[in-house]
């Protein structure tokens, strides 16, 4: 599977000829609706593809079918786009439609009996984002999360998300926030706030970030009767952007410590990981045009 994915990405690179990066367009994470960005060319329609490998899988701090023990090493394939709808007086895009499909694969276990057994999640998101000036972006997104092999229930989520980027004051911390409610699945509301201060490494455009996040699930968001649940994460991420084949590439390595309260660490199946602190490592290769 890994060889086929790598071959497909390589083929895409060979046939695409895009201009050099000229702007930054938004991305919305399918898991927690956090608002990010990526460098692209000058066109209006921007395909975005990513492949990541993790030591485990945790959704908003909760066990998501893969413990952090390198037992099954989940691989996630993401494909989507940002489509510029409007530009300001200076010609910079400031309104977008954003779509992403993130699909998780791992070695199946005996309990995963429905074909395709190794395809355990598919998170599909459609959203709109607007730049309000002074580094502020806001967005709204709707995500449908399904489990092709039937290991998890289907959920629908509606989210509002925002981010601030800049070089001075609070904007230099790159703060972001998101609020999510489910229209299908458990009730309640999820809120999160995050920062990611950044340092240049002096080697091209390589950067070092220190992401930190606090999330709270209110009123049984994680599971019926779970009440209010809290988790946090903090760590370090190194990103190296580079250009190849006329496209914009990004290689990123991240190491986080995910800290769960007693309620969250006890949720899940009998196979769920119950540690209070979980180490989560991710390596991502992304392509944007």
pLDDT digits (tens, 9 = 90+) for 44-85: 999 999 999 999 999 999 999 999 988 889 999 999 999 999
Residue 27: pLDDT band (50, 70, 90) is very high
Q: Give domain limits for the chain.
A: 2-288
pLDDT digits (tens, 9 = 90+) for 155-208: 999 999 999 999 999 999 999 999 999 999 999 999 999 999 999 987 778 999
Half-sphere exposure in the Cβ direction for 123 (13 Å, CA): 19
pLDDT at 18 over 50: no
Residue entry with tokens 């180490």: 279
pLDDT at 5 over 70: no
Residue 7: pLDDT band (50, 70, 90) is low
pLDDT at 20 over 80: no
* Residue 277: predicted pLDDT: 98
pLDDT at 152 over 80: yes
Percent of the chain at pLDDT above 70?
Answer: 92
Q: Give the β-pairing of 212-218 and 207-209.
A: unpaired
Q: How far apart are the C-alpha atoms of 32 and 247, rounded to whole Å?
A: 27
pLDDT digits (tens, 9 = 90+) for 237-260: 999 999 888 889 999 999 999 999
pTM here is 0.90
Half-sphere exposure in the Cβ direction for 138 (13 Å, CA): 5
Long-range (24+ apart) CB contacts under 8 A made by 213-220 are: 215/32, 215/60, 215/61, 215/190, 215/191, 216/190, 216/191, 216/192, 217/60, 217/188, 217/189, 217/190, 217/264, 218/188, 218/189, 218/190, 218/191, 219/187, 219/188, 219/189, 220/186, 220/187, 220/188
* Residue 123: predicted pLDDT: 98
Residue pair 107/117 in contact by the 8 Å Cβ criterion: no
What's the angle, vertex CA 23, arms to CA 17 and CA 27, rounded to 5? Answer: 95
Q: How far apart are the C-alpha atoms of 230 and 218, rounded to whole Å?
A: 9
**Which residues, other chains included, contact 3 with Cβ-Cβ below 8 Å and sequence gap of 6+?**
none
Fold of domain 2-288: Porin (2.40.160)
Mean pLDDT of the chain: 91
């Amino acid at each position: 599977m890994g060889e086929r994915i790598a071959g497909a990405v390589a083929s895409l690179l060979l046939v695409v000829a895009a201009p050099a990066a000229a702007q930054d367009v938004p991305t919305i994470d399918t898991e927690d609706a956090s608002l990010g960005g990526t460098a692209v060319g000058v066109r209006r329609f921007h395909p975005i593809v990513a492949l990541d490998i993790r030591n485990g899988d945790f959704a908003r701090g909760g066990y998501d079918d893969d413990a952090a023990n390198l037992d099954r090493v989940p691989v996630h394939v993401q494909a989507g786009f940002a489509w510029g709808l409007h530009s300001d007086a200076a010609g910079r895009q400031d309104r977008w439609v954003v779509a992403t499909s993130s699909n998780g694969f791992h070695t199946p276990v005996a309990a995963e009996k429905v074909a395709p057994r190794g395809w355990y999640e598919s998170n599909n998101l459609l959203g709109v984002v607007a730049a309000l000036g002074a580094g502020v972006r806001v967005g709204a997104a709707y995500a449908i999360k399904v489990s092709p092999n039937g290991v998890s229930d289907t959920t629908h989520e509606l989210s509002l998300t925002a981010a601030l980027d800049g070089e001075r004051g609070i904007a230099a911390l790159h703060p972001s926030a998101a609020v999510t409610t489910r229209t299908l699945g458990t009730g309640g509301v999820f809120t999160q706030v995050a920062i990611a201060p950044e340092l240049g490494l002096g080697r091209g455009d390589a950067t070092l970030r220190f992401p930190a996040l606090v999330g709270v699930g209110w009123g049984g968001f994680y599971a019926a009767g779970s009440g209010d649940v809290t988790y946090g994460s903090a760590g370090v991420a190194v990103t190296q952007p580079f250009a190849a084949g006329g496209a914009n590439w990004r290689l990123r390595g991240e190491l986080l410590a995910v800290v769960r309260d007693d309620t969250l660490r006890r949720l899940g199946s009998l196979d769920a990981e119950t540690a209070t602190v979980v180490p989560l490592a991710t390596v991502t290769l992304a392509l944007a045009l």
